Amino acid sequence: MSAAILSGWSREFDRGYDVVMNTQNNNINVTFIQPDGRTETHQGPIGDHVMDVAVDNGVAGIIGQCGGGCTCCTCHVWIDPNWQDRVRPAHNDETELLSYAIGVCDRSRLACQLRLTQELDGLVVEIPSETE
Ligand code: FES
């Protein structure tokens, strides 16, 4: 879009446009490891959540039933040990809900509570086995 067209827009709209453009140019890579060892890497824009990336790309084992409302546990993942110190700690509601998940460990997180940031580009998460 040319600058001539943008020049007639309000300052607020221009800022909004900049945010949209930056989001589109800042996709974050997330690698999902299935219980059988298969891996797949997908991208999502900064501001989305790991659960969104999984659901948008049909990653098996992540359902996201509550749509990110932190009420269902169907987005349970294990953070790869190499990434644990780069992920923000879970808040109290997430920690409480995780206590009901199958296969909980100290690397457990809800993918819907993991917001994509530049620092998380290349994040690796494991999908817990349903039997663990
Ligand atoms: S999608 Fe329901 S808790 Fe994450």
Distance 130 CA to ligand 1 centre (A): 16
pLDDT band at 66 (very low <50, low <70, confident <90, very high): very high
The CATH number of the domain where 76 resides is what?
3.10.20.30
Tell whether ligand 1 has an atom less than 6 A from the beta carbon of residue 73: yes
Residue 20 domain flag: no
Q: Locate 23 and state its tokens.
A: 């989001």
Residue 46 domain flag: yes
Going by alpha carbons, the residue nearest to atom 3 of ligand 1 is: 70
Q: Is the pTM here over 0.75, yes or no? A: yes
Output the pLDDT for position 25: 58
Residue 14 domain flag: no
Q: What is the mean pLDDT of the chain?
A: 85
Backbone dihedral angles phi then psi of residue 55, each to the nearest 5 degrees: -65, -40
Q: Locate 122 and state its tokens.
A: 């290349």
Residue 33 domain flag: yes
Distance 49 CA to ligand 1 centre (A): 11
Q: Residue 92 contacts by C-beta under 8 Å, 6 or more apart in sequence?
A: none
Output the pLDDT for position 26: 87
pLDDT in tens, 94-129: 999 999 999 999 999 999 999 999 999 999 999 998
By CB atoms closer than 10 A (0-12, 13-18, 19+), residue 125 is buried
Residue 21 domain flag: no
Residue 79 domain flag: yes
Tell whether ligand 1 has an atom less than 6 A from the beta carbon of residue 75: yes
Provide the domain limits for residue 105: 28-126
Residue 16 domain flag: no
Domain tally for the chain?
1
Residue 114 domain flag: yes
- Find the range with the poorest average confidence among 5-14, 49-58, 74-83: 5-14
pLDDT in tens, 1-48: 433 344 434 333 444 444 444 445 589 999 999 999 999 999 999 999
DSSP-based three-state secondary structure for 56: helix
